[in-house]
Structure 1
Amino acid sequence: MSATTVSRTATASVVRRPRAPGITWVVWRQHRTAAWIALAVLAALCAELVWLRGAMTGYVAEHGLAVPCRPEDDCAAFTAAVDGFRLRYGDFLGYNVLLLEFLPLFAGVFVAGPVIARELESGTYKVAWTQSVSPARWFAAKLGLPVAALLVGASVLSAVFTWTWRPVGHLDDGLLVDGTRWYEAFDALGPAPVAGVLSGAALGALTGLLVKRTLPAMAGTAAACVLLYWPLTTVRPYLADPVTTTRPASSDYPPSLHGGDSWHYERGMTTPAGGRLPDAGCIEAAGISRCVTRHGADGWYLDSHPPAHFRRLEWAQAGLVTAAAGACAAGALWRVRRLCA
């Protein structure tokens, strides 16, 4: 055998040598069991929601609940049917709402612990960094596959739940879904769960990089998600201009905060100078006239959002939450660069 033949054979063997698996493949191998379990759970939840929609719409058609009962009619049978609907399907709707509302928390805890903090705690990230994998690429690969899977799952689940809820959500001013009206199930409908999952994952990544220990990072992410949720619910009513209803002070009572499918979130008294006294404390007292006189009020007001504001509020909140996710992701990337400095 000539030297040229030997050289060609050696070259061919080098070419045919299998390549080392990439970091994305390694991430998949690490989390494939959890991924298959999550996929099975997602399929089961979607099947349950499809069944729930069929059962609810069938009940509504059978008992004639699509048309509200008129005051001049005998509504005893209608009221009994509504109570039966709530008894049969109210808990199903409520549990699904809770599940979707907790998706961001789950995403943050999952990313903070098993994906990021465990790598830093065990020191395995150093192996990847010494094998021509930059810290930024390592961070992107570690987060890319899990976050993409979480976003796809949240999008599918949110879309299916919205599709299930919509046929009964606005019937008779939300009477059937009392407790899960559009403003009560806000974080489970539309783009809200998807934006929340993105924000939770980014917050989990940042927490995991800062804490560097699995269990403390998971606990810290859970606490941070809960703490950030309350300011979000506080500013939500102000993400779109409300509809304001006013009455003169001669009215016996201020506009009601209850009833209908509109979100009545604030009421109070108005002053001649144009000021407002939200829930002045004595509004519910017996001496309404004395309350008005003591505060120098000349009328009542009620701020509310009709169902038509739902999409505007949803997308405004989604944009705000996505911006927060971008800030957390930027902070996490900065932390990664500091780790290798």
Structure 2
Amino acid sequence: MSATTVSRTAAGSAPRPPRTLGTAWVVWRRHRIAAWTALAVLAALCAELVWLRGAMTEYVAAHGLAAPCATEGDCAAHAAAVEEFGLRYGGFLGGNALLLEFLPLFAGMFVAGPVIARELESGTYKVAWTQSVSPLRWFAAKLGLPVAALLVGASVLSAVFLWTWRSVGHLDHGRLVDGTHWYEAFDALGPAPVTNVLFGAALGALAGLLLRRTLPAMAVTAFACVLLYWPLTAVRPYLADPVTTTRMSYLETRPFAGKDSWEYERGAITVSGTRLPDTDCHLAPVPTDCLARHGADGYYLDYHPPAHFQRLELAQAGLVAAAAVVCAAGALWRMRRLCP
């Protein structure tokens, strides 16, 4: 140790911060413009949702939409007010729900491209690895700050949207939020946006490490997010046991389920209980003759009432979180393979 070093130590110079903290600071410096922009957008969206909730509740109170109509004249005015409500506020609700549904895609593309693939494509990661920062610590620092920010932002936006949606989502059997019923805006309500963003980020990290090119990684992540969305929606009704009703008449099944229930499967049923989903006997000129030809004597309906919302949300959240863990494990495996 030189005399200069000793004198500096004796003078009480501040110790050097951990290198992992320095790496996180570099990540912040590189993406600070995007971070401040995202924060401003989040604040604007939350303010817009707060305004929307106030405007919708004020409209509902002014037009008496919280209670059912009593007379024929009242029902006509009620229907007109409901239609006007949809014209005024339906686009705002639908637009916010759509944004939350596409948030995982944006998160995955951001992680895949600017955060991971661009570093590997440009070769700047080699500089960090030669500064006594291990590849795994570099990988953790590169992902930690962006993913944490994405999850916090998604949680805040999802909570504010749910708070806004609930102010009118239960009124008039969901007619006020036509197009954004609880089962139509499923990926914008509850924990779904948060777990979906986590999956998108993990998928983006895996794509970025595998392809190591910015634009291809972003394109593949976007394609994979869209492609995997369809199996998720197909399996969603079966994540919880439905309520099943059987009736002799096709028209009797729907009122029994309720207007705000998620009706996802209906068909004919035989005496032995065998289901025939695609008979379309209710469209035949003589439905009873059609049922007889298929050996059926009635109809069945599978549906989820609004009380199943939380059960379905938690089941899907667990499924998506498990998929995110698989993608994260794949990204970690690929990171280890890249290590010299």
Structure 1 residue 10 displacement after superposition: 5.1
Structure 1 residue 15 displacement after superposition: 4.5
Q: Determine if the alignment matches structure 1 residue 206 to structure 2 residue 206.
A: yes
Match of 1:287 in 2: 286
Structure 1 residue 315 displacement after superposition: 0.8
Deviations 1:252-272 (A, max 9, x none): 656339971111111011122
For 1:206 and 1:172, locate their aligned partners in 2 and report how far apart those are by CA, in whole Å.
45
Q: Is the partner of 2:174 in helix, strand or coil?
A: coil
| Farther off after superposition, 252-261 or 101-110 | 252-261
Structure 1 residue 285 displacement after superposition: 3.1
- Go from structure 1 to structure 2 and tell me whether the alpha carbon gap of 1:97 and 1:6 turns closer, same or farther (over 3 Å shift): closer
Paired residues of 2:101 and 2:193 also in contact (CA < 8 A): yes
Match of 1:338 in 2: 337
Structure 1 residue 323 displacement after superposition: 0.6
Structure 1 residue 13 displacement after superposition: 6.7
Structure 1 residue 132 displacement after superposition: 1.7
1:94-109 aligned within 5 A: 94-109=94-109
Paired residues of 1:57 and 1:167 also in contact (CA < 8 A): yes
Bigger fraction of residues in helix: 2
- Go from structure 1 to structure 2 and tell me whether the alpha carbon gap of 1:27 and 1:246 turns closer, same or farther (over 3 Å shift): same
Match of 1:60 in 2: 60
For 1:58 and 1:34, locate their aligned partners in 2 and report how far apart those are by CA, in whole Å.
36
- Go from structure 1 to structure 2 and tell me whether the alpha carbon gap of 1:338 and 1:14 turns closer, same or farther (over 3 Å shift): farther
Paired residues of 2:268 and 2:297 also in contact (CA < 8 A): yes
- Go from structure 1 to structure 2 and tell me whether the alpha carbon gap of 1:252 and 1:313 turns closer, same or farther (over 3 Å shift): closer
For 1:252 and 1:327, locate their aligned partners in 2 and report how far apart those are by CA, in whole Å.
44
- Go from structure 1 to structure 2 and tell me whether the alpha carbon gap of 1:33 and 1:239 turns closer, same or farther (over 3 Å shift): same
| Farther off after superposition, 33-42 or 71-80 | 71-80
For 1:235 and 1:206, locate their aligned partners in 2 and report how far apart those are by CA, in whole Å.
24
Q: Is the partner of 1:173 in helix, strand or coil?
A: helix
Q: Is the partner of 1:31 in helix, strand or coil?
A: helix
Which amino acid in structure 1 is aligned with residue 177 of structure 2? V
Structure 1 residue 38 displacement after superposition: 0.4
Match of 1:215 in 2: 215
Deviations 1:302-329 (A, max 9, x none): 0011111111111111111011000000
TM-score, normalising length: structure 2: 0.93
Which amino acid in structure 1 is aligned with residue 283 of structure 2? E
Q: Determine if the alignment matches structure 1 residue 192 to structure 2 residue 187.
A: no
Paired residues of 1:252 and 1:288 also in contact (CA < 8 A): no
Identity of aligned residues (%): 74
| Farther off after superposition, 213-222 or 21-30 | 21-30
- Go from structure 1 to structure 2 and tell me whether the alpha carbon gap of 1:71 and 1:211 turns closer, same or farther (over 3 Å shift): farther
Which amino acid in structure 2 is aligned with residue 309 of structure 1? H
- Go from structure 1 to structure 2 and tell me whether the alpha carbon gap of 1:296 and 1:7 turns closer, same or farther (over 3 Å shift): closer
For 2:220 and 2:334, locate their aligned partners in 1 and report how far apart those are by CA, in whole Å.
17
For 2:233 and 2:250, locate their aligned partners in 1 and report how far apart those are by CA, in whole Å.
31
Which amino acid in structure 2 is aligned with residue 198 of structure 1? L
- Go from structure 1 to structure 2 and tell me whether the alpha carbon gap of 1:70 and 1:268 turns closer, same or farther (over 3 Å shift): farther
For 1:217 and 1:132, locate their aligned partners in 2 and report how far apart those are by CA, in whole Å.
28
Paired residues of 2:250 and 2:299 also in contact (CA < 8 A): no
For 2:77 and 2:253, locate their aligned partners in 1 and report how far apart those are by CA, in whole Å.
30
Which amino acid in structure 1 is aligned with residue 330 of structure 2? G
Which amino acid in structure 1 is aligned with residue 262 of structure 2? W
Q: Determine if the alignment matches structure 1 residue 301 to structure 2 residue 300.
A: yes
Q: Is the partner of 2:253 in helix, strand or coil?
A: coil
For 2:57 and 2:129, locate their aligned partners in 1 and report how far apart those are by CA, in whole Å.
56
Structure 1: which 5+ runs fail to align?
none
Match of 2:242 in 1: 242
Q: Is the partner of 1:176 in helix, strand or coil?
A: helix
- Go from structure 1 to structure 2 and tell me whether the alpha carbon gap of 1:7 and 1:261 turns closer, same or farther (over 3 Å shift): closer
| Farther off after superposition, 259-268 or 47-56 | 259-268
Paired residues of 2:250 and 2:298 also in contact (CA < 8 A): no
Q: Is the partner of 2:301 in helix, strand or coil?
A: strand
Structure 1 residue 236 displacement after superposition: 0.5
Match of 1:255 in 2: 253
Q: Aligned pairs, how many?
A: 336
Q: Determine if the alignment matches structure 1 residue 159 to structure 2 residue 159.
A: yes
Paired residues of 2:154 and 2:197 also in contact (CA < 8 A): yes
Deviations 1:246-295 (A, max 9, x none): 013xx365633997111111101112232111132444333322321221
Structure 1 residue 74 displacement after superposition: 3.8
For 1:300 and 1:7, locate their aligned partners in 2 and report how far apart those are by CA, in whole Å.
87
Paired residues of 2:27 and 2:142 also in contact (CA < 8 A): yes
Paired residues of 1:266 and 1:279 also in contact (CA < 8 A): no
Q: Please, what is the CA RMSD of the aligned residues? A: 2.1
Paired residues of 1:112 and 1:208 also in contact (CA < 8 A): yes
1:1-341 aligned within 5 A: 8-9=6-7, 11-12=9-10, 15-16=13-14, 22-70=22-70, 74-248=74-248, 251=249, 253=251, 255-256=253-254, 260-340=259-339
- Go from structure 1 to structure 2 and tell me whether the alpha carbon gap of 1:325 and 1:217 turns closer, same or farther (over 3 Å shift): same
- Go from structure 1 to structure 2 and tell me whether the alpha carbon gap of 1:32 and 1:309 turns closer, same or farther (over 3 Å shift): same
Structure 1 residue 126 displacement after superposition: 1.5
Paired residues of 1:254 and 1:267 also in contact (CA < 8 A): no
Q: Is the partner of 2:331 in helix, strand or coil?
A: helix
Q: Is the partner of 1:299 in helix, strand or coil?
A: strand
Deviation beyond 6 Å, 4+ runs, structure 1? 4-7
